[in-house]
Amino acid sequence: MGARDDGPGGDSMISQGAGASSHYSSQHDEHEASQGRRDSDAHGNSNSNSNSNSDSSSSSSSSSRSGGAKDQDKDTCNATSMMALSGGSLDTSLSASMMSMDGVGGSDAMSVAGEGANSNGSNDGDDSRRNETTTTATTADAATSTTTPTSADPSSTSFDVADLLDLSPVPTLVVSPSFHILRVSQGVVDAWKCSPDEFLGKDLFATLYGGSPLERFDRIPLAAAIEVAVASRKYNLCHAAYAAQGVSYSARIIPIFRGDTLLSLVLEWDEIEPGTAETRGEVIQHALSVDEVFRLLIQTVKDYAIFLLDTRGYVATWNTGAELLKGYKKEDIIGRHFSNFYGREDLDAGKPEHELIVCLREGRVQDEGWRYRKDGSRFWANVTITAIYRNGVHVGFGKVTRDLTERREAELRLVAAYEESAKLKNDFLANMSHEIRTPMHGMLSACSLLLDTALTDDQRDTANIISESGQVLLQVINGILDYSKLASGNFSVNTDLVGVASIITSVVRNVQMTLLPGVYIKLLLSPDLPKSAQGDPLRYRQIFQNIIDNAVKFTEAGSVQVAASVTGQDDTCYTILTEVTDSGIGVPEDAVQNLFKPFTQLEKPTKKRYQGTGLGLSIAKSLAELLGGQMGYRPNRERSGSVFWFTVKLKKIANSLNQLDAPYKAERDSEKSRQEAEKERMMKRIKELAPRKRILAAEDNLVNQKVLARILKSLGFQNTTIAANGAEAVSTLRASPNTYDLVLMDISMPVMDGFEATRKIRTFGVPIPIIAMTAYALRGDSETCLEKGMDDYISKPVNINKLLQKLLTWLDSPEWSSSATNGPS
Amino acid sequence: MTLPDDKELESILGDGVDLNTFKQILEMDEPGDNEFSTSIVFGFFEQAEETFESMNTALNEKDLDKLSELGHFLKGSSATLGLIKVRDGCEKIQRYGKQENLDGSPEPDTNVCLERVKEALTAVKSDYEEVEVGLKKFYDKDDEEEEGA
């Protein structure tokens, strides 16, 4: 009742103000106003007697108003007549409501009309209350109502109707159809603490909202409400359209038409009192309650399916978004189980119930997957289920579902594009590496030719740098080539004979040359290693080479130990374990997981001491897997350092019993083509080597000399010297000991035989490999050759393939010289 | 020239020639001519006839060491060409000259050895003549083919 109690106080102040400034008619007005107030107070007193008084006074003032307006104020003629019209019509239709216009102090016709128009449920309530005989009015009100009983409207017909608006205590604005403010009521001046000049003639929106940083937003509700009012030709309300002096006002918009022409708009402003809704426990002043807001929000969201499930998963609510997304109408789905949205596969896997269980345990659960619409079509959904509790009691689940089909498709396209580009990258790397390798080989060969010529020390240093850098570059390129081939799955594994022990021995011999001083290599080859088995010897060698190179590279003192053994075998395969243990710098614990990642090197680039692409271990691991094995690392437990190990599977060679079988024949055929390929490979290699190598051949038979010379020439050896007997060979070598790289020595020769010649050559210490050419079928010759200081032998007639093999063995690597030093085994 | 197939070669050269070894020689020829193998083969003919002369002389002089040495010498070149019957004959002469039996056991009787060398020499000459005819036929045929072509 507080709001209404305030009304009369305010009215009386306005009345006094108006009285002080005014002429006669406004005096009457004041009387009228006080009369009205008394009426209002009488309502408060709820006296049936005063009720009838009020009725009569209101209707009489109303009737007198319509007469006076025409005579008096020409300026406001239009507005006033309009008001009269409006007021009149409302009077008749809503006379009961008019009686209820408490709180506005029963002022003028306009406000009466407005109040009447505004009357709704709450005022109806007042009507009924008013009819009860309760006495809630204060004694002060009662006193006021009785102090000026006799000043009531004897001159009620003489006041200026237009002034009614200006003097109205209700904040009221009259606005032209172009939103210019035409009139401002005293209520506005008073409530908003401003002068009418600030409003008159100005644009409504600019005046109300001008200066606000959010002006463009502030005007939207009022403008929209006006639009509706004009379109419907009915009054319209705009909640909280304006705020002044810390108080919000709602606008009641009354469009005034004559015929189809909009004459004017009347805006009346009602104060919204904050806090009333809460204190009364019901919603009066706010258009929307908090619950209502949320209900509307969820109900109208279109892009998300938001709904509630009961505790067992039955659908309890349904919003617009859910209807759009899943295709079920509200009435279709309420009460049905949410597992209807899942596909057969998910149902079989128990996904729906699992999700609820997880949700209860963890409070919420999120999932992405296919969900099905009513029509059976599916969409890729992101689903969040939240367990809902009221006062600690589980009451159900909130489920929010989004359609991510498009995003998922975009993601799949992205992944496909990424894979495509990764493949292109690898192909590119492979092609480029291959293209670069060819000229690199040419350059390196040219460089080693250059190194064979007479060079000054400076030139030799420079040429050595070129050669070494070139070798490193070639390794890098080979690494990239291997990596990209492995990554693109284009890596082929050959099947060939593998002698694990001989490969390891050979690699270790080479590696010995690169050992730092004070580092030694130990070799532990298990005796049960198969002499030969089937696998890819080159790849095995590559893996082993890689890890032993690493071991040697990172070991500055101590030892590198190589161990190989058979860890398992079945009917067809051996599993061979090869382990390299070093006492080097080891691998920090946090780096272990990155060891086998491509392009990763453990060192910080800033202190890069070791060369490489960081591909080696990644390639080696892939290769080991390609050979049916694994690769791994563990720290060296005995001392600092690393243990790198890998396994490979090697096929057993079919035993001799099967040799007559057809498969064996096929195998032999493939063996034959394999030999062809091997021969080709050796031929290529020897032709690379031959131009830089010189051979001395001791052979007495002219026919054999010619054939041998021819064979050597066909292998690419341009400068072969033929000695007709052992003595000639010895004197040729003695004259120029550094000219020759290898001697082919016939045994039976006139003047001095091959044994004697070899003895002499060894006596003056030329460490040159000597290969005996022993005549066919003379037993014991071969053994004798080795006893007599020769390095190897080949039987006559000399077979070109065998010779090729022997020459490669002795020319292609520094192995013969390393056999003179103390080998690791 | 293109290499004749094995059957054709065998029919021309007879069983005194190991085809694989001889083909290795042929493969050393430049494509289109057989100058190299011709020079080797005809060089061998020369060498063989000289050696047989020397062997006769040594036989008359009962010089077993010389005979063994000559046997070894011709064995080497005949083996290179794949003339296996000649090679085997020469090896016999080499062994008998060393006063050994074919199984490597010693044969102290010089006369027996000389007698055996004599027999072996006769046999090896006949084997030689056979392959000589075959080889000459082979090269003649090639010449004809080339002329005809």
Q: What is the pLDDT of residues A581-593, one digit of tens each?
A: 988 888 877 777 7
Coil, strand or helix at A715: coil
The pLDDT of residue A75 is above 60 = no
Q: A780-813: b or e for each residue (b if 16 or more CB lie within 10 Å)? A: ebbebbeebebbbbbbbbbebeebbbbbbbbbee
Residue B42 touches chain A, beta carbons under 8 Å: no
**A493 φ, ψ (degrees, to nearest 5):** -110, 125
- Per-residue pLDDT, averaged over B114-126, amounts to 91
Across the interface, whether the CB atoms of A704 and B76 are under 8 A apart is answered yes
* A103, A109, A110, A111: CA torsion to nearest 10: 0
Task: Choose among A700, A707, A748: nearest Cβ to B80.
Answer: A707
Q: Do the Cβ atoms of A775 and B44 come within 8 Å? A: no
Work out the percent of chain A whose per-residue pLDDT is above 90.
Answer: 9
Q: Which of A226, A231, A233 minimizes the C-alpha distance to A257?
A: A233
**DSSP-assigned states of every residue in A300-350:** H--SSEEEEE-TTSBB----HHHHHHH---HHHHTTSBGGGGB-HHHHHTT
**Top mean-pLDDT range of A596-600, B94-98, B121-125:** B121-125
Residue of A702, A711, A775 with shortest CB distance to B72: A775
Chain B stretch 92-121, residues whose beta carbon is closer than 8 A to a beta carbon of chain A = 104
Residues 6+ apart with CB under 8 A from A796: A704, A746, A773, A774, A775, A776, B76, B79, B80
Cβ within 8 Å, pair B72-A711: no
Does pLDDT of A608 surpass 50? no
Chain B residues within 8 A of A709 when measuring between CB atoms = none
Query: Can you tell me the distance from the alpha carbon of B131 to that of B14, in angstroms, rounded to the nearest whole number?
Result: 7
Q: Do A746 and B28 touch (CB under 8 A)?
A: no
CA distance A801 to chain B (A): 10
Asked if the model's pLDDT at residue A64 lies above 80, the reply is no
Topology of domain A684-818, per CATH? Rossmann fold (3.40.50)
- Distance in angstroms (rounded) separating the CA atoms of residues A624 and A650: 12
- Number of CB atoms found within 10 A of residue A552's CB: 21
A705 has pLDDT over 70: yes
Q: Give CA torsion, residues A598, A601, A602, A604, to 10 deg.
A: -140
pLDDT of A76 reads 42
DSSP string, A585-622: S---GGGGGGTTSTT--SS-GGG--S---S-HHHHHHH
* Residue-wise pLDDT tens digits, A390-418: 888 888 899 999 998 888 899 899 999 98
How confident is the model over A25-49, as a mean pLDDT? 44
Could you report the per-residue pLDDT of B2-15, keeping only the tens digit for each? 566 777 777 778 78
Q: Does B44 touch chain A (CB under 8 A)?
A: yes
CA distance B149 to chain A (A): 28
Q: CB of B28 within 8 Å of any CB in chain A?
A: yes
What span, in angstroms and rounded, lies between the C-alpha atoms of B78 and A316?
Answer: 106
Reference A267, options A394, A151, A117; nearest CA is A117
Find chain B residues with C-beta within 8 A of A745's C-beta: none
Please answer yes or no on whether B21 and A701 come within 8 Å at the CB atom.
no
Q: What is the structure's pLDDT at A156?
A: 52
pLDDT value at residue A385: 92
Contact partners, residue A171, CB within 8 Å, separation at least 6: A185, A187, A188, A190, A191, A192, A249, A268, A269
B57 vs A196, which has greater pLDDT? B57
CA distance A667 to chain B (A): 23
- Domain ranges across chain A: 1-158, 171-277, 291-403, 415-487, 496-653, 684-818
Does the beta-carbon distance from A710 to B87 stay under 8 Å?
A: no
Q: Do domains A171-277 and A291-403 have the same CATH topology?
A: yes
Mean pLDDT to the nearest integer, A674-684: 79
Measure B105 CA to nearest chain A CA, in Å.
13
**pLDDT grade for A444, boundaries at 50, 70 and 90:** confident
Quick one: fold of B6-141? Four Helix Bundle (Hemerythrin (Met), subunit A) (1.20.120)
| CA distance to partner chain A, nearest, from residue B21 (Å) | 8
pLDDT-based confidence at A27, cuts 50/70/90? very low
In this prediction, residue A175 has a pLDDT band, given cuts at 50, 70 and 90, of: very high
CA distance B147 to chain A (A): 27
Q: Name the minimum distance, in Å, from the CA of B12 to any CA of chain A.
A: 22
pLDDT band, residue A256 (cuts 50/70/90): very high
Query: Which is it for strands A305-309 and A558-569: parallel, antiparallel or unpaired?
Result: unpaired
Which residue of A679, A699, A700, A701 is the best one to mutate when testing the B interface, meaning the one whose CB has the most B CBs within 10 A? A701
Nearest to B43 among A703, A746, A799 (CB): A703
φ, ψ for residue A59, nearest 5 deg: -70, -35
A704 Cα to chain B: minimum distance (Å): 6
For residue A37, how many C-alpha atoms fall within 13 Å in the half-sphere facing its CB? Answer: 29
Cis-peptide, bond into residue A588, ω within 30° of zero: no
- Mean pLDDT calculated for residue range A16-40: 44
Contacts of A779 in chain B (CB under 8 A): 104
Residue A31 near chain B (CB below 8 Å): no
A645 or A739, higher pLDDT: A645
Long-range contacts of A115-123 (CB under 8 A, 24+ apart): A116/A90, A116/A91, A117/A90, A117/A235, A117/A252, A117/A254, A118/A235, A118/A252, A119/A94, A122/A284, A123/A97
**What CATH number belongs to A496-653?**
3.30.565.10
pLDDT tens-place string over residues B47-61: 999 999 999 999 899
> What is the interface pTM, i.e. ipTM, of the complex?
0.82
Query: pLDDT by residue (tens digit) across B9-33?
Result: 777 787 888 888 888 888 888 877 8
**Angle, alpha carbons A439-A442-A446 (nearest 5°):** 140
- Quote the pLDDT of residue A425: 80
Is B10 near chain A, with CB under 8 Å? no
- What value, to the nearest 5°, has the Cα angle with vertex A625 and ends A624 and A631? 55
From the CA of A496, how many Å to the nearest CA of chain B? Answer: 26
- Residue A704 and residue B80: Cβ atoms within 8 Å? yes
Q: Which residues of A touch B77 (CB under 8 A)?
A: 701-704
Does residue A66 sit in helix, strand or coil?
A: helix
Angstrom distance (rounded) from CA B146 to CA B149: 5
* Range in A230-244, A373-387, A538-552, A806-820 with the lowest mean pLDDT: A806-820
**Which residues in chain A are contacts of B75 at CB distance < 8 A?**
775-776
- Under 8 Å between Cβ of B102 and B92: yes
Across A106-110, A209-213, A704-708, A718-722, least confident range: A106-110
Q: What is the pLDDT of residues A504-548, one digit of tens each?
A: 888 888 788 778 888 888 888 888 888 778 888 888 888 898 889
Nearest to B76 among A706, A796, A799 (CB): A796
Separation of alpha carbons A238 and A90, rounded Å: 21
Q: Does A751 touch chain B if contact means CB atoms closer than 8 Å?
A: no
User: pLDDT digit string (tens) for A688-698?
Assistant: 888 888 899 99
Listed by number, the residues of chain A in 114-153 with a beta carbon closer than 8 Å to a beta carbon of chain B are none
pLDDT band at A494 (very low <50, low <70, confident <90, very high): confident
Please report the pLDDT score of residue A783 as a whole number. Answer: 65
- Closest CA relative to residue B22, chosen from B91, B87, B78: B78
The answer to whether A701 contacts B69, with C-beta atoms less than 8 Å apart, is: no
Is residue A777 pLDDT above 90, yes or no?
A: no
CATH number of the structural domain A291-403: 3.30.450.20
CB contact under 8 A, A779 and B104: yes
Share the mean pLDDT of chain A.
74
* Across A785-814, average pLDDT: 78
Nearest CA in chain B to A714: B28
Q: What is the mean pLDDT of residues B85-112?
A: 85
Q: Provide the pLDDT for residue A669.
A: 60
Least CB-CB distance to B47: which of A703, A779, A799?
A703
- The per-residue pLDDT for A580 is 92
Q: Between A and B, how many residue pairs show a Cβ–Cβ distance under 8 A?
A: 57
Q: How confident is the model at residue A435 (pLDDT cuts 50, 70, 90)?
A: confident
Residue at A30: amino acid letter: E
Mean pLDDT, rounded, for A468-490: 77
Nearest to A741 by CA among A786, A771, A775, A709: A771
Distance from CA of A796 to the nearest CA of B (A): 7
Contact A748 B28 (CB under 8 A): no
Q: Does B38 touch chain A (CB under 8 A)?
A: no
Q: Which of residues 761-800 of A touch B (CB under 8 A)?
A: 775-777, 779, 796-800
Q: Which of B39, B72, B81 sits opposite A748 (nearest CB)?
A: B72
Query: In this complex, do A702 and B43 lie within 8 Å of one another by their Cβ atoms?
Result: yes
A774 contacts on B by Cβ (under 8 Å): none
Residue with more model confidence, A143 or B76:
B76
Which residue in A484, A482, A485, A462 sits closest to A474, CA to CA?
A482
Tokens, residue A313 = 């998963």
Compute the average pLDDT of residues A746-761. 83
Instruction: Specify the pLDDT at position B53.
Output: 92
Q: Which of A701, A710, A797 sits opposite B21 (nearest CB)?
A: A797
Distances (CA, A) of B28 to A166, A710, A768: 130, 7, 28
Task: Pick A492 or B88 by higher pLDDT.
Answer: B88
In chain A, pLDDT over 70 holds for what percent of residues?
A: 71
Shortest CA gap A523–chain B (Å)? 42
CA torsion sign for A127, A130, A136, A142 is positive
Q: From the list B24, B39, B79, which residue is nearest A800 (CB)? A: B24
* CATH number at A415-487: 1.10.287.130
CB contact under 8 A, B25 and A779: no
Specify the CATH architecture of the domain A171-277: 2-Layer Sandwich (3.30)
How confident is the model at residue A176, as a pLDDT? Answer: 92
